Structure 1
Amino acid sequence: MVKLLDQRTLFQPGLDYRLEAVFESFALSLARNPLKLRILDAFEIDRTSSLAIGSSILTHSILLIQYDMAHY
């Protein structure tokens, strides 16, 4: 875990401290438990749901691009 945390990239100093805290928390969450991730303490995302989300985003993107090309 120490090796993974050492490899993470650091933001430029002076960025929003809240953004830095969120990314740091996200990195620590992934280092502790890479298969489960809680979002806003309301949703739990694991490997299967992340695959479903990714495929849904890809499918909707393709449909929106096709619609845009057909109507504009």
Structure 2
Amino acid sequence: MLRAFRTEINPSFGQRQTINQTIGTCRWMYNKFIETNQNFHKTGHSYMNGFAFSKWMNNVYLPSHPDKHWVKQSASKA
């Protein structure tokens, strides 16, 4: 027998801000990953996987772009 449960959350204002910030960071990271791989493809480089992108983002991109400091304010797995 299959059962379904419906769950509703009622986050506080601060929790809503955290949820929206995390979702926005994930969206921005995904779009940056796609953009970076498209640029790599255009220049003839090989595909950059998720692990290599994470290393590139933390060690190359973010230190050279201090205006993107808000990325580090989200959860680390975002």
**Alignment TM class, shorter chain as reference:** 0.3 to 0.5
The normalised TM-score by structure 1 is 0.39
Higher relative contact order (CA closer than 8 Å, sequence separation 6+): 2
